[in-house]
């Protein structure tokens, strides 16, 4: 049986293929770097803050400074 097929005879998973092509240590380090980068990534400012109230209304946003509308509560049916 080919080393790159799983026990059921299907195609390999992408992680298995990445480990086979690049080695387990490189794949582990790349995954750790991606996880750490996601945690310490800078927060980008909201682009909708610069829009006028007219444009905000056109795309379905409330005017600046107004509270967000509350979602309707559905009754609980047991």
Q: Which helix (H) or strand (E) holds 14?
A: helix 14-22
Q: Write out pLDDT tens, residues 13-72.
A: 788 888 999 999 999 999 999 999 888 878 888 888 888 999 988 998 888 887 766 777
pTM exceeding 0.85: no
């Amino acid at each position: 049986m080919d080393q790159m097929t799983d026990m059921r005879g299907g195609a390999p998973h992408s992680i298995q293929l990445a480990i086979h092509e690049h080695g387990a240590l490189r794949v582990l380090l790349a995954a750790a770097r991606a996880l750490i980068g996601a945690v310490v990534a800078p927060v980008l400012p909201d682009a909708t803050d610069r829009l006028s109230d007219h444009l905000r209304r056109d795309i379905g946003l409330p005017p600046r400074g107004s509270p967000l509308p509350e979602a309707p509560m559905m009754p609980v049916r047991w």
